[in-house]
Amino acid sequence: MTGSQDAARAEEDTTPTLRLQPPCERLSGCHKSGVCSRSYFWVVMVFFHVYILNVIALLFYVHYSSGQEDASRSRDAPGGGRPDAARPPSGAEFVRDVSLTRIDGIRVGHVQKVSLVAGKAHEMRTLSLKPLLFEIPGFLSDDECRVVMQLAQLKGLMESQLMVQDGQEELAKELNLSPEEIFNLLDINQDGQLQLHEILTHSRVRDGIWLTPENLREIYAGLNADKNNDGLLNLKEFRLLSSDAFQHFLLQRGVKRSQLVRNSRHTWLYQGEGAHQVLQDIKERVTRLTRLPPTIVDLSEPLQVVRYEEGGHYHAHRDSGPVYPETACTHTLLAANTSTPFETSCRYITVLFYLNSVDGGGETAFPVADNRTYDEMSLIQNDVDLLDTRRNCDKSNLRVRPTKGTAVFWYNYLSDGKGWVGEQDEYSLHGGCVVTRGTKWVANKWINVDPDYQRQARYQQLVSQLPQEESDEGPALNAETQQSSVHQEL
């Protein structure tokens, strides 16, 4: 015990004795006012001290209890959530209390053991870091592959891309822009010339027709468009073309399936309650593989099964679009209170399953995987178009051979550094190389997450409040799945 504590103890000991002297007894028998006023003084002092001690104790109590509350709040809201953010979702904001696990690739070639089914360990190999891409052999058993292909056949597969629509010519007539305006919009690098890739990119997006540089030169020759034969179109040359000359030329010549962005057939298989056990098992295994909250996987798109015939392909693309401030996700539109022309599927992860081993071709190509830099312009250079999976798969940085039962998965978005979805990963560019022999069967499981945490949370809350049958419709709200309204039946 220290000296000051001793002194405090001594003080405590003396005060009660003084207080116990009954002042009124003394008052009745006292004649000297000095005695009375002294005892009165002591009584007042004692009460005063007790009062002060009580006030101090109260202040300490208030201070410590509010401090604890603050501490528990900041634990719930990493990244400094506002005090009102801890309140339940009747308010505007949800607490950011969920973060998404992102698997560490370590380095290319690194193999990690993963536990996906009881009593068995799978090996997961890192194929690239940009995008973060893994391969898991034997993810599906032969029986599971067979059941998925059979269920898809039973349901029926539809063309993945329709042939050039009749409405296309109408669309061209409606185009209310002058040739100068169109020229300016197409001239991305604004050098006053239309390079091959400036035209090719446009026709792929607008018409879904995949022209090669040769095709384009053929069209120029057919229309006598490139007068000085330098492979470029200047404004004068462009003006001489009528607005629908291109489309007209293509339609006359006829477009083959092999000249589309994608040549395959596909269908969707529901994986929720009541679905075939194999489909539910696959969903469960994907949840374990990705280590994401089960609700997020449950509310994602159904399983897409794709079949490529011999000669089939899918040119390089990204499975999901970029994130702008105005971007809305198809799956959370229900919870968005804005309308926007920027809508994308927000597929955070792609899990791709090979359902058969292909006799020839059909690799999945990642043209720019682990490239030191990414340069959109250098993807299409003169005669080499790295996006063309019918011709240039051999020039891709990475190719995965389809092997029955193998799964590959990758992240289409980077992390935001705070445990949620960030920017689109431009390196996630990939495509299906042309199948040179036999057929190719794959399935896609896309995990949809809204990069806007609040919107994802609001969506999940809304779906959880719906009656059971209706909440099963959650994934069906995707535009693509709306096309086939019967996907829940399988």
Number of residues that bind ligand OGA (CB under 6 A): 9
- Amino acid found at 294: P
Q: 178 — phi, psi (to 5°)? A: -75, 155
Q: What is the DSSP letter of 318?
A: -
Q: 225 — phi, psi (to 5°)? A: -90, -40
- Residue with smaller CB distance to ligand OGA, 274 or 322: 322
Smallest distance, Fe ion to C-beta of residue 350, A: 6
Which residues 6+ apart lie within 8 Å of 324 measured at CB?
342
Determine if 237 is a binding residue for Fe ion (CB under 5 A). no
Cis amide bond preceding 213, omega within 30? no
- Residue with smaller CB distance to ligand OGA, 216 or 303: 303
Residue span 432-471 as binding mask against ligand OGA, x where in contact by CB under 6 A, dash where not: x---------x-x---------------------------
Contact of 408 with 352, CB cutoff 8 Å: yes
Rama region for 106: left / alpha / beta (φ>0; ψ in -120 to 50; rest):
left
Tokens of residue 64, six digits? 């410590």
Number of residues that bind Ca ion (CB under 5 A): 5
Number of residues that bind Fe ion (CB under 5 A): 1
306 binds, among ligand OGA, Ca ion, Fe ion, none (CB under 5 to 8 A by kind): ligand OGA
Smallest distance, ligand OGA to C-beta of residue 69, A: 49
Tokens of residue 490, six digits? 């399988």
Which residues 6+ apart lie within 8 Å of 282 measured at CB?
140, 144, 148, 271, 303, 353, 445
Residues 296-335 that bind Fe ion (CB under 5 A): 319
436 binds, among Ca ion, ligand OGA, Fe ion, none (CB under 5 to 8 A by kind): none
- Closest residue to Fe ion: CB criterion: 319
Residues 67-106 that bind Ca ion (CB under 5 A): none
Distance CA 261, CA 258 (A): 8
345 binds, among Fe ion, ligand OGA, Ca ion, none (CB under 5 to 8 A by kind): none
Distance CA 446, CA 163 (A): 25
Contact of 329 with 455, CB cutoff 8 Å: yes
Q: For residue 236, give the H/E element and its range.
A: helix 235-239
39 binds, among Ca ion, ligand OGA, Fe ion, none (CB under 5 to 8 A by kind): none
Sole residue written with tokens 């100068």: 180
Distance CA 75, CA 293 (A): 20
Single out the segment in contact with ligand OGA by CB under 6 A; choices: 19-27, 132-140, 270-278, 428-436. 428-436
- Residue with smaller CB distance to Fe ion, 145 or 349: 349
- Residue with smaller CB distance to ligand OGA, 180 or 480: 480
- Closest residue to ligand OGA: CB criterion: 432
- Residue with smaller CB distance to ligand OGA, 209 or 442: 442
Considering only 364, 412, 428, 488, the residue that binds ligand OGA (CB under 6 A) is: 364
Q: Which of 425, 341, 424 is nearest to 129 (CA)?
A: 425
Single out the segment in contact with ligand OGA by CB under 6 A; choices: 39-47, 145-153, 424-432, 477-485. 424-432
DSSP lists the bridge partners of residue 361 as 435
Determine if 135 is a binding residue for Ca ion (CB under 5 A). no
Q: 39 — phi, psi (to 5°)? A: -70, -35
DSSP per-residue codes, 208-228:
-B---HHHHHHHHHHHT--TT
Smallest distance, Fe ion to C-beta of residue 95, A: 34
Q: Which of 149, 154, 232 is nearest to 194 (CA)?
A: 232
Contact of 348 with 421, CB cutoff 8 Å: yes
- Residue with smaller CB distance to Ca ion, 128 or 195: 195
Smallest distance, Ca ion to C-beta of residue 358, A: 39
Considering only 184, 189, 436, 464, the residue that binds Ca ion (CB under 5 A) is: 189
- Residue with smaller CB distance to ligand OGA, 197 or 266: 266
The site for Ca ion (CB under 5 A) is made up of 187, 189, 191, 193, 195
Which spans of this chain sit near ligand OGA (rule: CB under 6 A)? 306, 314, 319, 364, 430-432, 442, 444
